[in-house]
Structure 1
Amino acid sequence: MCYFHELTHSLFLAMHSVGYPRSQCSSPSPEDILVKKILLTHDPDGRRVDSELLLRMMENVMYYATTSNVCGLDLPDSAIENLCNTGVVGSHESLGNTIYRISHEILCKCSGEGDLQERLLAVFELLGSYSWDAKLVLVLVAFATNYGEFWLIMQLCPLNPLAVSVAMLKQLPSDLGAFKRRFKALTSLVKTMLEVTKCVIEFEDLPLQHVELEEETMIATMSPIYIAAYWVIRSALICSSQITDMVAAKHEQEHSTSTAIATWELSSLVCWVSHIHDNLRRQVDLCHNQIEAKLDRKLSDLFKKTHVDNQEILQMLFALEDDFPLKQGYAQAKVKVSELIKKEVILLVSKPKIGSLEDLLLLVQQTYDHPQQNEFERQYEIIWVPIPCSSRWSDVEEKEYHQLSNALPMYSICKPWRLSTAIVNYIRREWHFMEEPLMVVLDRQGRVSSSNAMDMIWIWGGPKAYPFSVARELQLWEEASWSLQLLVNEINPLVSYWVEERRTLCLYGSDDLEWINEFTLLMKEIRSAGVQLELVYVGKKEFDEHVRDILDTIAEGKLGLSLSYLKMQFFWLRLESMKRSKLRLGRTNDGDIVLKEVASLLSPNASVDGWAVMGEGSSTDVIKFGGKQFIECLKLFQCWGNDIEKLGLLGAIRNALEPPPPALKYSCNHSSVIPYVEGLLTQGTQVCKECKRPMEKHILYQCIVTEELNLRM
């Protein structure tokens, strides 16, 4: 029987042995019995290997064995580290020893006596405890180690005397030119075997324990998987035999017809294995689509139900394929989702590159290193969920993920590229993830309490924003008011100290260096007159190198304090968050003073013309000035400076900018009742909102009693 006919006959037997219909036959043939024996060897005991990672390393070996180029397929450092630390889960045997035993089995059988069927059965018996994908991967890796060693010696021979000596002792061919077509056919076969193996891995990774396939689909898919396993391992044995034959070939045999026949046999096997791959690919795609449709419905239903805790939701999102789907911050320890029970969980959804380094530092500050964090134990955890721009992860995106996940203190998904398509689509559809990062909050029962808590965290920080619900956001805004304290909110320790001390503070921004010089010089004159005033430069909304030049000028000229470049970004980031938060809650400029003032600071003209905001601590007595208007006012300090002692600095400036209407001849009787707050009586004089004159201070004692009257009918 010729080689191709032998292949066809064996495949026919394999198909019938795993459930394909067969014609009538009187009794099982020896080959039929052999294939059934192969299926009987399959007795998995829970042993697992990282098939995906091992297969990538095997691809690397094959790549470097077939090319002299030394760049293009380098694995990330974290992937190499994971490979060094990986092993056979559920077995006391090390991964290296497992691969060695398989490699030894293949080499011995190739060089020893016995037909292909006996060798095939011996390998299957050795791999009986593994799943189908692990069988294929381990055999391919074992073949790659032998093949890689062969090519390593051959490639080093021109440069390394040690390689030359080893090649001579092994009696390796001195010239491989005659085997060029044979190696090309062998490489094509290995690539096809890899594609088949990837299909099997993809099927094994389906969350079948959570979402069941239809019975007909399951049966129709398992048969091609059995056939694929049979032919991939059989092909690996044939490839190993081919290498052994080439090494043992005499010089006169290098150009003989045996080489041509061997090349034709490999090419024929490529065609057949490709046909198996196409059939298996269709079946796995069918399974994948069926699972995704069911998973999407199940996920939607799950979020509508009430749960005791967050475990079922987190299991469905992240633990469909892996019992340890998360890695924990700097420690890089793999953990289960059960570690997050009884905690609020924030899902940080973003692209593999979250943003700039500055944004990341600020996010860590607001969530993990916040000044209020030590006041109580953190009751929330963050899981980073990176989602690529397209349906597939690029090498660049994967590298960025590894770099960030190893540096961030939060949890991250170990293998985000294996997230189900249904889950990714659900996140995009239901949580409206597009390009910008968002933070979806799941409460302790797994319910979505906030579709995006990013703005809350930027404005108030994690400890104060907890538990990040819409109700908490409304409560925080009710407690907040337009003040310097709201604007600076612990951005800078010194500025925060000035706010607590209720010092008069002036924030200003512009990208006009001429205006800044004029403004700061006029402010110096006022301070030299004994006025207590602190200046803080906060830059502008759109950062560029010009802002850095301004910072240098302010520092060199000692023109006051300026926020660092990072803190400036934080200042404007918070203003943007305040605006978004207010608009999301339905506020308008006309009815909300915070939104109105923040929107004016964010307007494009503000940075061009220059602006200043002046106030004291948490006081709502805040003045905002346009650049030119304020400069003209400061130039007239000699005129209104004498009013500071009576009206205070803010009152004097306000009186100078908005003097009482000249037509007002009568006395103004407007009054303002201000609730008592500790330390309020020490403030400067209040200014009347009607006539802009200073108001006299009186003390009002008011008794408000509420009684319940029982009225009898």
Structure 2
Amino acid sequence: MDLLKSQSLCLLSNSTIQDDILMKRLLLTHDPDGRWLDSETMLHAVGNIMFHASSTQGIPGLHFTSISKDDICEIELLGCTEPVGSIIRKVSCLITSKCSVEGDINSKTMGLFDLLENYRWDAKVVLVIAAFAAKYGEFCGLVQLYQSNALAVSVTRLKQLPMDLRSLKPRFKALSLLVKTMMDVAKCIIKFESLPILYAKQDSDILHVTEFHIYIAVYWITRSIFTCFSQVTEFTTKKHEQVYSDSTILAAWELSSLAYRLSNIYNVLKGEVDLCHQEIGGNLHNRLLSLTDEIQNDNQEFLTLLFPMKDYLPLKDCSTQEKIGVSELKKKIVVLLISKPEQLTLEQSLLLVQQTCDHPLNEELRDSYKIIWIPLPSSDGWIDTEETSFEILSEFLPWYAIRKPRLLSSAVVKYIKEEWNYKEEPQMVVLDSNGKVINSNAIDMIKIWGPRAYPFSASKEAELWQDENLTMKLLIDDINPLLAYWVKEGKDLCLYGSDNLGWIRQFNDKIEELKRQGLQLETIYVGTNQSGERVKEIMKTLATEYNPGNSLLFTKSQFFWLRLESMRRSKVRQTSSDQVLADLSALLDMNERNEGWVMIGRGSSSDIIRLQGRQIMECLDKYAEWGDNVETLGLVDAIRNFLQPPSVEGPCSHSYLVHSSRAQIEGTVVCDVCKRPMKKYAVYA
């Protein structure tokens, strides 16, 4: 690395006077006014054009990235009201007009820089390459079509384009090689321009050297484009015998010479840009670390460090596709949803949407916090499937997302993985209004409590669990409005699960029979945590043969199991062992044994009973023996007393002081210890 730096410095010190003068002239024409072009996407689109153009000429060994999003209208240009296509046409017309007159090519090239003075260096490069790609693509398209399309034949003859291109293959090959080399250099320029230069050392030698070579590289690419334009123009301005003469060899040699020059520039520039990337990335990472110990007045610096394009609206509102800047997040709680692009399953996404945006309580908190999706690829670079997954999901999710996640700095990715312990599983990191991390992973508490968990801090999670017991309200209250109503009404509820349709029918038939005898119980089928087509078929059967309300929709049943898993993970973070954790684990373990099971309880009561399928059927078959106790003991205690009868008959000897009320005086009080009815005494004070 030091050797490369010394070589670069040597090149700078030994640069010719002409290069120094050239650099100064280039800087005089460079006056960026804040407009920003999505140069990387445009370069991909140019590569797509050149890929197909080269293929039509039968030139092997040239591989350009082929992408689907090659529509020039989709390439973003911010800070400028003129469409991208119009700018490219202006560039093309200027080059064409200058190529048609005599003159020094250097003067012609500098004239083009005057037109592009308000653009950054990466934008200048891709605009001139795009202008040539459009002209060359049009030429190759006509040549390809003229053999089978009457209109193309007429246009080809009108423009006097050559019909036989076989003798021009050396020129086409040299031209394609030059374009590929220009694109390689352009990628280096784009990479450099995307770096947060603010975090480079002010006296960085490698930065100054790289900037010098960026200017020279932009000049030689622009100058090469003039040569490319001239060569394509020759096909229509010269006679056929001139086109196919020895001038073809000379033209191919000229193109190859330019490719060789740019190849040398690329070899040096690539190493320099990599060094700058390492230096700036290291400084950026260190700044992120140092912010942890500093007191900030807001979250703006931290968010600006995290997201690229700070001046160019790095975020988008997925629901409206509106571009958003980090200033929109000032003084807000920010929840960063980090995941692989394709890892947010439909069910996970829908559950998070339900527990945030669609939750009734969210209306009160809508402007207090924002969720931002940060997709991270599995490897160092993005692949087509990951890009597609991000584009599809980001059009439907109601949160914010990074608009160009591939531009996320590698230093930021490193920080996320190391400091927030991201292990390629969905994770929600919460920043307070000052940009401080208050919870390294709030995804489970959001799945469990939704907006009730606001501000989603680790301390809030501990507070929520402090007085929480395993109740029907906790398990199902947020899943379905009907279930929430049943919980509020204090109805006896029975959750049951299995993939054994025979047992399910037997259980439901028995419940229906007992309801006719007076049993008041609402049953809800929740499937299994390995939900699949089998469970879907069972749900259809239940909807047809029984009351449609006694089964959750398939998606809602998956919500139940996702929340249950989240409860266990969240509880494990709070304690290694308590009754709630034991109950959660027992329920999940019972389901994994592929047996029928039931859980019976009421509203916010923590008095819940769990039974295996065989046990509940034995109990229901003997309903006549314990059914009369439901009115006095309640359903859960009546079942429990039947399954585990007290060893001593009659009232218990425990003491329990209750406040006087008509309901308690007239009703029966059940002992919390032995679950038997207690003898009643009145105490007057």
* TM-score for the superposition, normalised by structure 2: 0.92
Tell whether 2:652 aligns with 1:668: yes
Tell whether 2:267 aligns with 1:278: yes
Instruction: Check the 8 A contact 2:73/2:84 in 1, yes or no.
Output: no
Q: Which amino acid aligns with 1:695?
A: M
C-alpha root-mean-square deviation of aligned residues, in Å?
2.7
User: Which residue is equivalent to 1:695?
Assistant: 678
3-state SS in 1 of match to 2:37: coil
Residue deviations 1:386-426, cap 9 Å, x none?
11100101111112111111211111111111111010011
Residue deviations 1:564-593, cap 9 Å, x none?
1011011111111110111001241xxx22
User: Which residue is equivalent to 1:43?
Assistant: 31
Q: How has the CA–CA distance of structure 1 residues 377 and 284 changed in structure 2, closer, same or farther, with 3 Å as cutoff?
A: closer
Q: 2:494 aligns with which of 488, 506, 521?
A: 506
Q: How has the CA–CA distance of structure 1 residues 207 and 614 changed in structure 2, closer, same or farther, with 3 Å as cutoff?
A: same
User: Which residue is equivalent to 1:656?
Assistant: 642
Alpha-carbon offset, residue 700 of structure 1: 6.4
Alpha-carbon offset, residue 639 of structure 1: 2.1
User: Which residue is equivalent to 2:61?
Assistant: none
Q: How has the CA–CA distance of structure 1 residues 94 and 255 changed in structure 2, closer, same or farther, with 3 Å as cutoff?
A: closer
Cα separation, 2, equivalents of 1:375 and 1:237: 61
Residue deviations 1:157-182, cap 9 Å, x none?
12322222221111111111111121
Q: Which amino acid aligns with 1:75?
A: S
The runs of 5 or more residues in structure 1 that have no matched partner are 1-14, 703-713
Q: How does 1:137-536 map to 2 (within 5 A)?
A: 137-212=126-201, 214-319=203-308, 321-375=310-364, 377-461=366-450, 463-536=451-524
Instruction: Check the 8 A contact 2:471/2:606 in 1, yes or no.
Output: yes
Tell whether 2:66 aligns with 1:73: yes
Instruction: Check the 8 A contact 1:458/1:574 in 2, yes or no.
Output: yes
Alpha-carbon offset, residue 246 of structure 1: 3.0
Cα separation, 2, equivalents of 1:45 and 1:378: 33
Cα separation, 1, equivalents of 2:504 and 2:667: 28
Instruction: Check the 8 A contact 2:126/2:186 in 1, yes or no.
Output: yes
Instruction: Check the 8 A contact 2:431/2:439 in 1, yes or no.
Output: yes
3-state SS in 2 of match to 1:426: helix
Residue deviations 1:576-624, cap 9 Å, x none?
1110111001241xxx221111111111555522211111211222221
Cα separation, 2, equivalents of 1:184 and 1:391: 32
3-state SS in 1 of match to 2:524: strand
Q: Which amino acid aligns with 1:694?
A: P
User: Which residue is equivalent to 1:599?
Assistant: 585
Deviates more, 1:103-112 or 1:375-384: 375-384
Instruction: Check the 8 A contact 2:571/2:581 in 1, yes or no.
Output: yes
User: Which residue is equivalent to 1:8?
Assistant: none
Tell whether 2:628 aligns with 1:639: no
Cα separation, 2, equivalents of 1:221 and 1:700: 91
Residue deviations 1:167-198, cap 9 Å, x none?
11111111111111210110011010011011
3-state SS in 1 of match to 2:519: coil
Instruction: Check the 8 A contact 2:336/2:371 in 1, yes or no.
Output: yes
Cα separation, 2, equivalents of 1:410 and 1:224: 42
Instruction: Check the 8 A contact 1:511/1:607 in 2, yes or no.
Output: no
Q: 2:74 aligns with which of 65, 77, 82?
A: 82
Cα separation, 1, equivalents of 2:391 and 2:131: 28
Cα separation, 1, equivalents of 2:488 and 2:25: 81
Q: How has the CA–CA distance of structure 1 residues 333 and 415 changed in structure 2, closer, same or farther, with 3 Å as cutoff?
A: same
Instruction: Check the 8 A contact 1:18/1:226 in 2, yes or no.
Output: no
Q: How has the CA–CA distance of structure 1 residues 234 and 72 changed in structure 2, closer, same or farther, with 3 Å as cutoff?
A: closer
Q: How has the CA–CA distance of structure 1 residues 167 and 332 changed in structure 2, closer, same or farther, with 3 Å as cutoff?
A: same
Alpha-carbon offset, residue 319 of structure 1: 4.4
* TM-score for the superposition, normalised by structure 1: 0.88
3-state SS in 1 of match to 2:198: coil
Q: How has the CA–CA distance of structure 1 residues 300 and 627 changed in structure 2, closer, same or farther, with 3 Å as cutoff?
A: same
Cα separation, 1, equivalents of 2:214 and 2:666: 82
Alpha-carbon offset, residue 17 of structure 1: 14
3-state SS in 2 of match to 1:467: coil
Alpha-carbon offset, residue 679 of structure 1: 10
Tell whether 2:110 aligns with 1:127: no
Q: How has the CA–CA distance of structure 1 residues 690 and 586 changed in structure 2, closer, same or farther, with 3 Å as cutoff?
A: closer
Instruction: Check the 8 A contact 2:597/2:611 in 1, yes or no.
Output: yes
Q: How has the CA–CA distance of structure 1 residues 130 and 20 changed in structure 2, closer, same or farther, with 3 Å as cutoff?
A: farther
Residue deviations 1:331-385, cap 9 Å, x none?
1111211111121110001111242212211111111000222345441110111
Residue deviations 1:5-62, cap 9 Å, x none?
xxxxxxxxxx999953268xxxx77x98666534433333434322222222222221
Alpha-carbon offset, residue 151 of structure 1: 1.7
Cα separation, 2, equivalents of 1:568 and 1:117: 71
Tell whether 2:614 aligns with 1:628: yes
Q: 1:551 aligns with which of 522, 539, 542?
A: 539
Q: Which amino acid aligns with 1:614?
A: I
Deviates more, 1:162-171 or 1:415-424: 162-171
Q: How has the CA–CA distance of structure 1 residues 225 and 48 changed in structure 2, closer, same or farther, with 3 Å as cutoff?
A: same
Q: How has the CA–CA distance of structure 1 residues 39 and 472 changed in structure 2, closer, same or farther, with 3 Å as cutoff?
A: closer
Alpha-carbon offset, residue 92 of structure 1: 5.3
Q: 1:103 aligns with which of 81, 85, 92?
A: 92
The runs of 5 or more residues in structure 2 that have no matched partner are 1-7, 59-63
Cα separation, 2, equivalents of 1:451 and 1:679: 50
3-state SS in 1 of match to 2:464: helix
Instruction: Check the 8 A contact 1:38/1:125 in 2, yes or no.
Output: no
Q: Which amino acid aligns with 1:400?
A: S
Residue deviations 1:525-544, cap 9 Å, x none?
22111121111111111112
Q: Which amino acid aligns with 1:382?
A: I
Cα separation, 1, equivalents of 2:539 and 2:313: 48
Q: Which amino acid aligns with 2:139?
A: F
Alpha-carbon offset, residue 236 of structure 1: 0.9
Q: How has the CA–CA distance of structure 1 residues 48 and 473 changed in structure 2, closer, same or farther, with 3 Å as cutoff?
A: closer
Deviates more, 1:278-287 or 1:233-242: 233-242
Cα separation, 1, equivalents of 2:85 and 2:625: 87
Alpha-carbon offset, residue 91 of structure 1: 4.6
Instruction: Check the 8 A contact 1:178/1:254 in 2, yes or no.
Output: no
Alpha-carbon offset, residue 523 of structure 1: 1.6
3-state SS in 1 of match to 2:394: helix
3-state SS in 2 of match to 1:67: helix
Percent identity among equivalent residues? 47
Alpha-carbon offset, residue 154 of structure 1: 1.6
3-state SS in 2 of match to 1:331: coil
Q: How has the CA–CA distance of structure 1 residues 549 and 698 changed in structure 2, closer, same or farther, with 3 Å as cutoff?
A: farther
Q: How has the CA–CA distance of structure 1 residues 330 and 624 changed in structure 2, closer, same or farther, with 3 Å as cutoff?
A: same
Alpha-carbon offset, residue 122 of structure 1: 2.0
Cα separation, 1, equivalents of 2:636 and 2:508: 17
Deviates more, 1:229-238 or 1:691-700: 691-700
3-state SS in 2 of match to 1:245: helix
Instruction: Check the 8 A contact 2:44/2:65 in 1, yes or no.
Output: no
Q: How has the CA–CA distance of structure 1 residues 529 and 157 changed in structure 2, closer, same or farther, with 3 Å as cutoff?
A: same
User: Which residue is equivalent to 2:4?
Assistant: none
User: Which residue is equivalent to 2:597?
Assistant: 611
Q: Which amino acid aligns with 1:668?
A: C
